[in-house]
Amino acid sequence: MDHIAFIMDGNGRWAENHRKTRQQGHEIGSSNVYNIFLSCIDLGIHTATFFAMSSENMSRSKEETEYISTLLDNSIKQHLDDLLANDVKFRVIGDLSHLPDSIRETVQHAEQVTSRFHKYELNIAYNYGGQWDIVNSIKTMLEKKIEITTSNISKYLATGSDYPDLIVRTGGYKRLSNFMLWQAAYSELIFLETLWPDFTKEHMRDIFFDYKLIKRKFGKVD
């Protein structure tokens, strides 16, 4: 497996179950991202993408969306030295125009100083939607006067032509929720009842070894 992606669902329900605030649920969920990314590294997975905030989530209260953007800022600052030490290329994919200038500067700095690395890749999808991604790709091609083909659409997506081998969604719902719609064409999908803050390295290892048993055909026959 080269690329795994996570739809991190369940922070709010976890908070409700534990009599915590939604902000506390998001804080615990945010702290779990890097733990799981380290598990991916331990398992030899090159790229991990975490769906932190969808385009549709931006319609939530200003207080909640601003708090999640602050968590993004704090997490980058907290882990940047580790990313540099582990040769991790870091990116935030999505429409970042709504972020405060200071947080955009944090993102841009982290992306710049890690851009030379290729050993591992960590993507955070923030204010991201699969429909937005496809439309943005096509707009870019039209601006550059490039022929619209499936391969070119892939090239100009936020992730480029790097598609996830496996998409894992926690929280019990069985849908993609506008995440990587183009890239997920032949991704394997796993849906778990486990809420994201309760997702552990043990879950990650079980998923990894279950995936290794899958024979992927990409529409072909044996």
**Closest by Cα among 25, 67, 92, 55 to 177:** 55
Q: Is 7 helix (H, G, I), strand (E, B) or coil?
A: strand
Rounded-to-integer distance, Cα 180 and Cα 163, Å: 9
Whether residue 57 lies in the annotated active site: yes
- Position of tokens 């429909």? 131
215: tokens are 């024979």
Catalytic residue among 35, 42, 57, 123: 57
* Alpha-helix residue ranges (DSSP H) falling in 53-200: 62-85, 101-114, 130-144, 150-155
Catalytic residue among 9, 32, 123, 133: 9
Q: How far is the first Cα of the chain from the last one, in angstroms, to the nearest whole number? A: 20
Whether residue 101 lies in the annotated active site: no
Catalytic residues, which ones? 9, 57
